[in-house]
Structure 1
Amino acid sequence: MHKRLAIPLLAAVLLSGATAQSAELRGHGGPVRAISVAPDGKTAATGSFDTRAIIWSLETGEARDVLLFHEGEVTAVAALPNGRFASAGADGRIAIWQTGRSDPARILEGHAGPVADLEVSPDGSMLASASWDATVRLWPLAGGEARVFEGHGANVNALAFLADGTLVSAGYDAIVIYWPSQAGAPPVRAVMPTPLNTLVTAPGDRLFVGGADGHVRLLDRRGEVQLEMQVSRKPVIALAATPDANYLAAAGIDDGILLLETRSLSTIRTLDTSDVAVWSLASAAGGKTLLAGGADHLVREWNVETGERLGAAVTGKTDPMARYADNPDAEVFRACIACHTLGPNDGNRAGPTLHGIFGRKIASVPGYHYSPAFRKMDIVWTPETVSKLFELGPNAYTPGTKMPEQTISNAEDRAALIRFLQAETRTD
């Protein structure tokens, strides 16, 4: 955290260029509940308690789209074929997103409770959803009615697909169900000794399952426990396996992240999260790195082999604020740079360009897709209104915005931000 910046600004993401300890994705205004990395490893989606999903470029650290649709926290995301993503939330709805569009390309409705997990079938044709309404649904991505699976007696929290397309679900009823791909065939049910929170596949049609008792268990295709290990004093709420199946990352509430060796479930190392609870995990960079979404609203990245937290010195990324090194007010803008451009020819990112912001009416940048609430407001951006935005927070000053909730309580920091914008966004 930079000394003058207490919170993220302007719906932004930070990939700091300072040290190997500072790689962070900033932009959410609440705990990051879900992460999904696209198959090509270049793009990822995150979902948060702030009701927003964000699509990121993992190559540049830019937030490409900030997506506002759900009425409540976004609890699940999934990367789909052809550059699409899906998000789902506490409102029970699933949104299918096409890159560059501010509205869902398709909305899937049917669940009567929050959607806790989304998974894509191995062939990319189906999207599975798990809900607290005790059902699992299988949606054809080409269109058509969902197939509904009923059999759990409580919240369904997690899903996974085996290599042959068999769908597996786990729930708070402590049951794992293997659903047959052919209609009419009976499911296989396995009873565990504890409520279940998370699943991840392993080679050989096996599964790792994380439970409320702090144990990770390895199951075979019949649901029989082959191996188990207590890895946390508290419930295991997130798991992620590397593609080579050598490592398994496990996060327990307030217990940090444990990197496990998959053959024995023995702990290789503990990744220091500075006592921040981790809500979500995802393997990235072909299994070389691990992404973790925290209760502090950030996504951090670790090198799997070394356990080192990554930053620009490791990834080779340059500091995007280097060009403003001579401006003493620039540091306040650091967390904004990946979502907002400043120059006349730089265009829009996840947020609109700030070039010429002062004197501009709200929601008036050509080519940027604003939220409907923004388009109805009668605000002109001046030093006073921009300062008021961060004094009160976006939700209070501009209700319905796509921006995460955030404030700058320090008047000196607000003044520094205004001076920086006045110097760097003028049109003359």
Structure 2
Amino acid sequence: MPVPFRLALSALACLLAVTARAEAPMRGHGGPVRALAVTADGSRALSGSFDASAILWSVEDGAALRVMRAHDGAVNAVAFLPDGGLLTAGEDGRIALWRDSPEPERIVATHAGPVSGLAVAPGGRRIASSSWDGTARITPLDGGPALVREGHQGNVNGVAFLPDGRLVTAGYDATVRIWPESGPAVTVQLETPVNAVAAAPDGEIAAAGADGTLHLLRPDGSLRARLEVGPRPVVALALSPDGRRIAAATVGGAVAVVDRAQARVVLTLVGPGLPVWSLAFRGAGELVTGGGDRLVRRWDLAAGEPIGPLAMTRPADALAGFAGDRGAAVFRACEACHTLTPDGGNRAGPTLHGIFGRRIAAVPDYPYSPAFRRLDIVWTPETVARLFEIGPARLTPGTKMPEQTIGAAEDRAALVRFLERATR
């Protein structure tokens, strides 16, 4: 084949690949996408997942630019800083600041419970975080002491800054609290737990209710409007850059787009039926969502349709040939993070193909933690069973594997027998 012709075919193939990738959902996480943020210019997105990773994406071509792993558990919140820094916050209570290195630059704050939300203050010099430890914190990024806000009874689920710098928090105790620089908070009692909160450029506050409602509060906390966007719980909110529209995501899989001034739903985006856990506007005309299908999707708000296919081809069920096998049923809880076959590859966790007789931390190209690499274990039926008897934190300290045990000895034995068959 002549060289120019080969080059032309190569260029065409690259063009077709880029076009297909740009119109397809962003695929890379091994678990539901729990958190999303988009840069002001719309060129980059940052996602956090139940698989304990965060991914930086090029939105236009759908390419994963960087995968970040530092948290022991789900990445529940992410944010961009004005100076180009990235923030990730996790189930482990830590908030990590990332720049250009493969490891976090530093841990900027630590909570005693999972971090549920992040917000960047006007000017970008402070951040706020909410946590299931019952507190919110305002942390200066220059290393100064954090200001701790206490008062919620139970989990604090969301946090936002008003334009004047005041903090707003939302809690499972069905309250929204507006915190002045000093003194007690203004407490707004609602009729349902509040799952998320957002603040508009004019200071209006949007609060997401577990009963499927959206409350719009004035900056002083008084109620301006209440509307139904459910019927399923609203779990995430996003405001358009101009503040005119609010997107409200539900665990039922639909997203309501609300005209804020009119306090009415003007568009409903219907996904594949799985929960939508996170969302962010990309300019005024596009929405980016993440959910239970592990994908990051783009939506054209003018058309009310997804950019690219909505229904993705369902991968073959790797466990279909093990129907009725008790060990395969036990393994279902591990399937989101681990594959079994030679061509399955790594997900949130390394492939288990060939696990028995393999030394720990030996799968090529998997980013094990330094502590994990220092362990001296060979995987055998006995060590795998022991892992699920006492838990990963005790047998393999330093692991990023979610803490879990299998209480029944017969279930552990069934899992080991299944893995002996399925990973050869």
Q: TM (normalized to structure 2)?
A: 0.69
CA distance in 1, matches of 2:138, 2:189: 23
1:186, distance to aligned residue in structure 2 (A): 2.9
Q: Which residue of 2 aligns with 1:35?
A: 36
Quick one: which amino acid aligns to residue 289 of structure 1? E
CA distance in 2, matches of 1:175, 1:127: 21
Q: Which residue of 2 aligns with 1:242?
A: 240
Which of 16, 19, 26 in structure 2 is aligned with 1:17?
Answer: 19
1:205, distance to aligned residue in structure 2 (A): 1.1
Q: Structure 1 residue 102 and structure 2 residue 102: aligned?
A: yes
Whether contact under 8 Å (2:71, 2:400) holds in the other structure is: no
Q: Which moved more, 1:163-172 or 1:39-48?
A: 39-48
Quick one: which amino acid aligns to residue 248 of structure 1? I
CA distance in 2, matches of 1:375, 1:65: 22
Corresponding residue SS for 1:83 = coil
1:43, distance to aligned residue in structure 2 (A): 1.8
Quick one: which amino acid aligns to residue 103 of structure 1? E
Q: Which moved more, 1:253-262 or 1:271-280?
A: 253-262
Q: Structure 1 residue 141 and structure 2 residue 138: aligned?
A: no
Q: Structure 1 residue 115 and structure 2 residue 112: aligned?
A: no
Q: Which residue of 2 aligns with 1:291?
A: 288
Whether contact under 8 Å (1:196, 1:210) holds in the other structure is: yes
Quick one: which amino acid aligns to residue 51 of structure 2? D
Q: Which residue of 1 aligns with 2:269?
A: 271
1:400, distance to aligned residue in structure 2 (A): 6.3
Task: Classify 1:249/1:109 alpha carbon distance in 2 versus 1 (closer, same or farther; 3 Å).
Answer: closer
Q: TM (normalized to structure 1)?
A: 0.68
Q: Which residue of 2 aligns with 1:191?
A: 189
Superposed CA deviations along residues 269-318 of structure 1, whole A, max 9, x for unmatched, are 2212021210001011x222100001010010001222121149xxxxxx
Corresponding residue SS for 2:279 = strand
Whether contact under 8 Å (2:21, 2:62) holds in the other structure is: no
Percent identity reads 46
Corresponding residue SS for 2:256 = strand
Superposed CA deviations along residues 241-272 of structure 1, whole A, max 9, x for unmatched, are 21223322111111411222222232222212
Structure 1: stretches of 5+ with no match in the other structure: 1-14, 313-334, 337-361, 379-398, 403-428
Superposed CA deviations along residues 43-79 of structure 1, whole A, max 9, x for unmatched, are 2211100011111122432212211111111111111
Q: Structure 1 residue 159 and structure 2 residue 159: aligned?
A: yes
Corresponding residue SS for 2:83 = helix
Count of residues in correspondence between the two structures: 324
Task: Classify 1:207/1:363 alpha carbon distance in 2 versus 1 (closer, same or farther; 3 Å).
Answer: same
Q: Which runs of 4+ in 1 moved over 6 A?
A: 362-365, 373-378, 399-402
1:363, distance to aligned residue in structure 2 (A): 9.1
Superposed CA deviations along residues 106-149 of structure 1, whole A, max 9, x for unmatched, are 11344111100010001100010000011011111111221111
Task: Classify 1:64/1:221 alpha carbon distance in 2 versus 1 (closer, same or farther; 3 Å).
Answer: same
Quick one: which amino acid aligns to residue 127 of structure 1? I
Structure 2: stretches of 5+ with no match in the other structure: 1-16, 310-343, 346-361, 377-397, 402-424
- Which protein, 1 or 2, shows the higher relative CO under an 8 Å CA cutoff with sep ≥ 6? 1
CA distance in 2, matches of 1:65, 1:249: 27
Q: Which residue of 2 aligns with 1:208?
A: 206
Whether contact under 8 Å (2:234, 2:248) holds in the other structure is: yes
Counterparts of residues 317-328 of structure 1 (less than 5 Å): none
Task: Classify 1:375/1:111 alpha carbon distance in 2 versus 1 (closer, same or farther; 3 Å).
Answer: closer
Corresponding residue SS for 1:112 = coil
Counterparts of residues 29-428 of structure 1 (less than 5 Å): 29-99=30-100, 101-181=101-181, 184-284=182-282, 286-311=283-308, 372=370
CA distance in 1, matches of 2:78, 2:253: 24
Whether contact under 8 Å (2:108, 2:141) holds in the other structure is: no
Whether contact under 8 Å (1:232, 1:255) holds in the other structure is: no
Quick one: which amino acid aligns to residue 33 of structure 1? R
Whether contact under 8 Å (1:43, 1:56) holds in the other structure is: yes
Corresponding residue SS for 2:78 = strand
Q: Which residue of 1 aligns with 2:417?
A: none
Q: CA RMSD in A?
A: 3.4
Quick one: which amino acid aligns to residue 145 of structure 1? P
Whether contact under 8 Å (1:363, 1:370) holds in the other structure is: no
Task: Classify 1:16/1:301 alpha carbon distance in 2 versus 1 (closer, same or farther; 3 Å).
Answer: farther
CA distance in 2, matches of 1:110, 1:187: 23
CA distance in 2, matches of 1:126, 1:207: 20
1:375, distance to aligned residue in structure 2 (A): 6.8
Quick one: which amino acid aligns to residue 219 of structure 1? L
Quick one: which amino acid aligns to residue 296 of structure 2? V
Corresponding residue SS for 1:81 = coil
Task: Classify 1:73/1:205 alpha carbon distance in 2 versus 1 (closer, same or farther; 3 Å).
Answer: same
Task: Classify 1:61/1:400 alpha carbon distance in 2 versus 1 (closer, same or farther; 3 Å).
Answer: farther
Corresponding residue SS for 2:19 = coil
Corresponding residue SS for 1:70 = coil
Whether contact under 8 Å (1:19, 1:311) holds in the other structure is: no
Whether contact under 8 Å (2:176, 2:207) holds in the other structure is: no
Superposed CA deviations along residues 70-120 of structure 1, whole A, max 9, x for unmatched, are 111111111113211111111111111113x11110113441111000100
